[in-house]
Amino acid sequence: MVDVDPTTSVVAASAIVALTTILLLVQRRYHRGASFFSTMMGRIRVVIRSRAENRELRRLIAVLDEGGGEEGGDDASSSGRTSVSSSRRRRRRPVVSGIFIHPVKSMRPVSLAETKFDVHGLLHDRRLMIVRPIPRRTIGEYDDGNDHDDDAPTHRFVTQRQCPRLATIEVTMPIEIMTDGIRDDATGWKRMGRRSGGMGRTSKVLIRLSSSSTGSASSSSSSSSSIALADNDARIYVDVSPSTLIASPLRYRAGLWGDVVDVVDVGDEAASFVSNIVRLDDPAYGDVRVVSILPRNLTTRHVNETYCPHATRVGYLSTLPQGGLTDGFPILIATQASLDELNSRLAKKGKERLPMSRFRPNIVIDNTSRPFDEDEWKAIRIGTGKDAAILHIVKGCPRCKQSCTDQITGERGNEPLETLSDFRSLGKGGADVYFATNAILNGDCYESTIRVGDPVTILTRGDPVWDADTAQPE
Ligand SMILES: *[C@@H]1O[C@H](CO)[C@@H](O)[C@H](O)[C@H]1NC(C)=O
Ligand SMILES: *[C@@H]1O[C@H](CO)[C@@H](O)[C@H](O)[C@H]1NC(C)=O
Ligand SMILES: *[C@@H]1O[C@H](CO)[C@@H](O)[C@H](O)[C@H]1NC(C)=O
């Protein structure tokens, strides 16, 4: 219906030629590198496997919930049913007996009755930590002012390994402060009910740090882990409101084991509060800073792919799961049976029993069938029904000197490392001792809730995994 005039034909022909040329060039380019297509194919494979693994887990759960479960063991089959008639079924049923988060890495834990998750793991777990500046390389007399490597860390993490006294610092959950008061919010950050005329109202999210070991305060505190603050306790509030963190210009690249993480400084008051405490361990640590991950997903820290089952991949693009400022994995699980075994060995030597807090787990599970059963777990389910969480047990946790630090006083001894080395030297060359195990949430379980008292079902088992290399003694 339109007259094809000659110019249009020429333009069309040129356009086709140009397009073909571009396509050919693009294709040749990717052919050479082959990276684009292989990356795409790799990603597609991961998505497919992730879906398949998830389907398999769901199928398994459906079978178990039917009451089937081929070889039951102490596992699976009994979960979800309260046996009234079957007292013969006196089978031990694993159950969650404790949930802990550590809002600031290396400081004291907060015990919770229940919790949820976000992209970084358990809500509020290890979102802050202590760092020290890394001395900048200088050329001649002066720093040349140029970062030769933008990815190079500017700071390095500090933990109880270097400063055991960090264990004396008590931390609260983030507390939201509004005009109508302070509210502890165990399950996350929600707005309070609106009041009429509350237009200009602002809110802040604060974490309280407190310690009785500041300054010269003679720590005659007879292991008083009391929740109430003693009068001589020093305390400060750290503003971790998302808006405050976003607005702060003090951003660092913090080295944390093998990763470099984007963090933001939470201010001078927090820095000097913590410095005054860790300085007592080592005067060289007078320059520490307190940092937080950035809100709104601006900090990413992926878990090492080597250890991630496909089912832990997140979202439509099947991206790697993340951790917060933990050592390497988002969740640490310990069992009471393993601690009991350790403690009975300590008792035989006439030594003191140790509390679970030495191992700083997130989730403690009781009533497992035997000590260190967790070595062989692969996938477990916590809770039943829609909001149950599936966790993948990925690798045993090598322990360091931190476990020898009294988590009340900050004093350091030789146990449990000495006794663990009798029977838990399992890594390469037996150089590391293992207690508790690292876990990652299943990719589609980020809406789950876990609660103390939840039944735990061991879905799959397999060979234990230890580190390929010995852990650094940082
Ligand atoms: C962070 O990302 C997760 C999933 O990618 C999303 O559900 C969540 O709302 C994000 N949080 C913020 C504060 O943007
Ligand atoms: C991941 O872990 C493996 C095995 O321990 C290690 O060889 C590799 O270097 C790690 N990758 C990264 C990026 O740290
Ligand atoms: C463990 O099992 C025993 C016996 O079945 C029960 O009495 C106990 O309460 C369980 N422990 C927990 C923490 O639920």
For the chain, how big is the Rg over CA atoms in Å? 27
Give the tens place of pLDDT for each residue, 179-206.
454 454 543 334 444 444 444 457 889 9
* Contact assessment for residue 185 and residue 204, using Cβ atoms and an 8 Å cutoff: no
Q: What percent of the chain is helix, strand and coil (3-state, nearest 5)?
A: 25, 25, 45
Distance (angstroms) between ligand 3 centre and the Cα of 79 equals 14
Give the neighbor-by-neighbor strand order of the sheet with 114-118.
Answer: 121-122, 114-118, 449-451
* Ligand with minimal distance to 316 CA: 1
* Average pLDDT score over the chain: 83
Atom of ligand 3 nearest to the CA of 366: 13
Mutate to test the pocket of ligand 1, among 119, 245, 313, 444 (most ligand atoms within 8 A of CB): 119
Q: How confident is the model at residue 36 (pLDDT cuts 50, 70, 90)?
A: confident
Ligand 1 neighbours by CB, cut-off 6 Å: 119, 296-297
Place of tokens 């550590």: 102
Mutate to test the pocket of ligand 3, among 81, 364, 366, 382 (most ligand atoms within 8 A of CB): 366
Q: Report the C-alpha dihedral over residues 25, 28, 34, 39, rounded to 10 degrees.
A: 30
Q: How confident is the model at residue 30 (pLDDT cuts 50, 70, 90)?
A: low
Ligand 3 neighbours by CB, cut-off 6 Å: 92, 95, 97, 366-367
Distance (angstroms) between ligand 3 centre and the Cα of 367 equals 6
Q: Which of 1-5, 318-322, 400-404 is predicted with the least confidence, judged by mean pLDDT?
A: 1-5
User: Across 79-93, 149-163, 432-446, which has the greatest mean pLDDT?
Assistant: 432-446
pLDDT at residue number 473? 55
- Average pLDDT for residues 451-457, to the nearest whole number? 97
pLDDT at residue number 27? 66
> Which residues are within 8 A (CB) of 275 and not within 5 positions of it... i.e. 6 or more apart?
285, 286, 287, 288
Place of tokens 């200009």: 200
Q: How many CB atoms lie within 10 A of CB 325?
A: 29
> Reduced to 3 states, what is the DSSP secondary structure of residue 96?
strand
Distance (angstroms) between ligand 1 centre and the Cα of 295 equals 9
Q: How confident is the model at residue 140 (pLDDT cuts 50, 70, 90)?
A: low
Mutate to test the pocket of ligand 1, among 297, 298, 314, 447 (most ligand atoms within 8 A of CB): 297
Which is more confidently placed, 90 or 275?
275
Given a cut of 80, whether residue 4 has pLDDT beyond it is no
pLDDT at residue number 29? 62
* Ligand with minimal distance to 302 CA: 2
Q: For atom 12 of ligand 1, which residue has the closest CA?
A: 296
DSSP 137-206: P-BTTB--S--S-TTS-SEEEE-TTT-GGGGG-EEPPPEEEETTEEEE-TT---PPPP-TT-TT---EEE
